[in-house]
């Protein structure tokens, strides 16, 4: 091992922390363990079949052949606020929320930090398709809440994870069992708040097939058992996060994002294909990282506006 690898590792962490980010570097040898853990949960029927097929079966649990010498996984986290989006329709204004994890604004910033730090020292960096939440917990970067969301010290659940591969050797390689936050042991706030009862008191693995976020991120129509009154975000759900005591300091952390005029709102509600949207409207949706999800946004927005209307 090159003598300067430990110093480069410290420099990676330092450069991330300068911008308020955090990271962990572990060996790619753990990729097989990630796969084994997910598959074991599925075989034990702890994971719903549809959820597994749609969300967990497409991870790349082998290092791609075009990546030479990858020996480490770099998992990073960036603090991220909720976004408040404004829609105008028939003289009324609707303020709707996008949860912290959906914006990809910090992805490129983190990637650039890592590229500058590593490439100038002879190492490479590649994006990875791996289970970020499980990786964050097993590496010690995060802990699970009962809501199956990752919590990081100083960020709560208001953060976004990003995963990379590198040929920088992993000198520390911490690896832990999946852990629940200590604060969860005597708290059931999220269990009581979840409208679909997807969160159970005895484990951090939720019943994902009941989770509102799972359903409003899918193309399918909502099951009949989901009540319109349960919807609270343009995409995703914030109920469990906004009742969690660990997140108390972040409850009102918002970024004022885009505003859509009446015509733009009508076009979205009508499900207008992206190629027929005015450029300015498409750009707004792109900045929100929602342009590729127009069908979902149209459906969800229709429900939210009906719910908010008298």
Q: Are 67 and 245 in contact (CB under 8 A)?
A: no
pTM of the complete model: 0.93
3-class secondary structure, 130: coil
The DSSP letter of residue 55 is: I
State both tokens at 197.
């009862």
Q: CA-to-CA distance for 94 and 256, rounded, in angstroms?
A: 13
pLDDT at 67: 82
The predicted structure's pLDDT at residue 220? 86
Calculate the dihedral angle through the C-alpha atoms of 217, 220, 223, 224, rounding to the nearest 10 degrees: 120
pLDDT of residue 274: 92
Question: How far is it, in rounded angstroms, from Cα 252 to Cα 96?
Answer: 14
Whole-angstrom CA distances from 272 to 182, 264, 305 are: 47, 10, 17
Give the pLDDT confidence score for residue 26 in this predicted structure. Answer: 97
Distance, CA of 240 to CA of 197 (rounded, Å): 11
Alpha-carbon Rg for the chain, nearest whole angstrom, is 20
CB 132, CB 161: distance < 8 Å: yes
Q: How confident is the model at residue 1, as a pLDDT?
A: 46
3 class by beta-carbon count within 10 Å (0-12 exposed, 13-18 middle, 19+ buried): exposed
| Angle subtended at Cα 36 by Cα 55 and Cα 172, rounded to the nearest 5 degrees | 100
| DSSP-based helix, strand, coil % in the chain, nearest 5 | 40, 15, 40
3-state secondary structure of 177: coil
User: How confident is the model over 75-117, as pLDDT tens digits?
Assistant: 999 999 999 999 999 999 999 999 999 999 999 999 999 999 9
Q: Check residue 154 and report its DSSP letter.
A: T
What is residue 310's predicted lDDT score, i.e. its pLDDT? Answer: 58
Query: Tell me, what's the pLDDT at 307?
Result: 83
Q: What is the pLDDT along the chain (310 residues), one digit of tens a residue?
A: 455 999 999 999 999 999 999 999 999 999 999 999 999 999 999 999 999 999 998 999 998 877 888 999 999 999 999 999 999 999 999 999 999 999 999 999 999 999 999 999 999 999 999 999 999 999 999 999 999 999 999 999 999 999 999 999 999 899 999 889 999 999 999 999 999 999 988 777 899 999 999 999 998 889 999 999 999 999 999 999 999 999 999 999 999 999 999 999 999 999 999 999 999 999 999 999 999 999 999 999 999 998 876 5
């Amino acid at each position: 091992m090159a003598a300067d690898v430990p110093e480069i590792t410290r420099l990676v962490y330092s450069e991330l922390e300068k911008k308020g980010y955090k990271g962990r570097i572990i060996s790619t040898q753990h990729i097989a363990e990630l796969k084994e853990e997910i598959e074991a949960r599925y075989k034990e029927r702890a994971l719903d079949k549809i959820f597994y097929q749609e969300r967990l079966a497409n991870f790349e649990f082998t290092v791609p052949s075009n990546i030479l010498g990858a020996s480490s996984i770099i998992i990073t986290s960036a603090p991220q606020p909720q976004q408040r989006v404004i829609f105008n329709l028939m003289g009324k204004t609707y303020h709707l929320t996008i949860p912290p994890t959906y914006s990809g604004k910090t992805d490129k910033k983190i990637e650039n930090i890592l590229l500058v730090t590593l490439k100038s020292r002879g190492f490479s960096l590649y994006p990875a398709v791996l289970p970020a939440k499980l990786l964050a917990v097993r590496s010690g970067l995060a802990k699970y809440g009962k809501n199956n969301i990752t919590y990081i010290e100083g960020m709560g659940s208001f953060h976004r994870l990003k995963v990379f591969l590198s040929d920088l050797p992993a000198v520390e390689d911490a690896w832990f069992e999946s852990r629940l936050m200590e604060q969860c042991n005597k708290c059931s706030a999220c269990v009581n708040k979840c409208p679909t009862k997807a969160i159970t008191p005895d484990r951090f693995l939720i019943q994902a097939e009941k989770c509102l976020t799972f359903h409003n991120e899918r193309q399918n129509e909502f099951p009949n058992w989901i009540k319109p009154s349960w919807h609270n975000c343009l995409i995703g759900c914030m109920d469990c996060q906004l009742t969690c005591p660990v997140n108390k300091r972040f409850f009102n952390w918002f970024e004022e994002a885009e505003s859509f005029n009446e015509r733009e709102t009508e076009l979205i509600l009508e499900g207008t294909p992206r190629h027929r949207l005015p450029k300015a409207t498409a750009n707004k949706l792109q900045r929100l990282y929602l342009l590729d999800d127009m069908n979902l946004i149209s459906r969800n927005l229709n429900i939210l506006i009906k719910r908010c209307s008298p």
